[in-house]
Structure 1
């Protein structure tokens, strides 16, 4: 945490300076904070530059002319990053960039999180530039899953499209969390997410995570089902009817869903299971009482809360 605090102090204390002089140093130090490799030296063979500053690209214009540009930081299969520095006007790094420069002076942004209109325009233009650079990459390299806009010394914005089509870069992980201020790096969760953007971006794909969670739940429930189905009396008779087992597991799944969307208090079902782990003899009584309360509506002693009536024959 000491290194993180020093990094935050070092960069929040900066006023002015030149974007082109500062961004590479800022991002190199950020890599150390995120525990990821730093960019590599660039080669004159552009196709070998898989993780470099100033990656060259060629824009192909509608009139068949071409223009050269440079990606501030590029990591193949991970991201295109466009850097700006809002505390000074800065200069365009290529003729193509000049076309998207803001047409009015930026208001000096505050240290807080209330942004000026000029700053919003700067960041939106930078996001469009990042997408233009991604589009200019050779088809063989594919579309990167992330576009990153960096306001040097202040924040980073993340946009993701995991489809590989480059048609729907959206705020990631959501509208509230896509903008990471430098102070947010104190959070272990934020640093881990950024670490994955650099090292394993597709692991952040919500569809893959949902599929993994669904598969994991299915596997666990299958084990529970098999355990119950295999139980026998001393004379070899089945203890639990298969239909009742299926109904029991279905009610468990529905209760987990109700907890996740907060139709019942957050973590309430989880706390019941935790109590039952310590005292297994409470399990059937607590779940029965909870499901009766959910079926009729009223006070559920198992979770010590009043619940709504669920019309699902619980």
Structure 2
């Protein structure tokens, strides 16, 4: 399977046997997943130039290796200077005072995008209908939602964030939704979906 994947990556011609196996094993789908994963990793490291398709596979692999060696050398230099980035400091160095690293150098943090539907629903005027609209959104779409993301789903709701908060508080009191706070950001999710997962 991975031999065929390498052929696909190098855009080598496929014989009939390869084509049949590609159809049967969905190797093209595997290639797409690998490509998407590679693009996400390149973006996280700020190395988008490696994933633009302009370089050969061999050149990309060589440049990745060079950059990883440089990152490793930088880490080793930091450790020589006494700055160690422990993965699990409570276990690896329990006697030392720990700094909390909040960002990684060379890694670009991508702000989560707020999804906008193709057609926004009208924001209901009645509180009961607002409750139902938010409940249905969280139940049918799943995942965690910020107040801004919820407001973005409805026409004229961006000025109604206080009302959306009131609805979420009411739905939480009823046990229908729950909130999650991470790094000071509050998101909401449909409680029954969380229990099922």
Query: Do the two structures share a fold, i.e. TM-score over 0.5?
Result: no
Q: Which has the higher contact order (CA 8 A, sep 6+)?
A: 2
TM superposition score normalised by structure 1: 0.19
- Compare the two structures and name the one with the higher helix fraction: 2
Q: Which has the higher strand share?
A: 1
